[in-house]
Amino acid sequence: MSGTADLGPLPKRIAVDVDQVRRLVASQFPHWADLPVERVANGGWDNWTFHLGSGMSVRLPSALEYTEAVDKEHKWLPVFAPRLPLPISTPLAKGESGEGYPFSWSIYRWLEGETARVDRIADPVRFALDLAEFVVALQGVDTADGPVQVSTTGTGVAPYAPTTGRPTGG
pLDDT digits (tens, 9 = 90+) for 117-133: 999 999 999 999 999 99
Task: Write the CATH number of the domain with boundaries 11-147.
Answer: 3.30.200.20
pLDDT in tens, 10-68: 889 999 999 999 999 999 999 999 999 999 988 788 999 999 999 999 999 999 999 99
**Residue with more model confidence, 74 or 163:** 74
The share of the chain scoring above pLDDT 90, in percent, equals 69
* Average pLDDT of every residue of the chain: 88
DSSP state letter for 105: E
pLDDT beyond 70 at 164: no
Domain boundaries, the chain: 11-147
Cα dihedral value 6, 10, 11, 16, nearest 10 = 140
Strands 105-109 and 91-95 turn out to be: antiparallel
Enumerate the β-bridge partners of residue 58: 50, 107
Interatomic CA distance for residues 98 and 113, integer angstroms: 31
Q: What is the pLDDT of residue 162?
A: 57
Q: Are the CB atoms for 74 and 83 separated by under 8 Å?
A: no
For the segment 90-116, the average pLDDT, to the nearest whole number, is 95
pTM of the model: 0.79
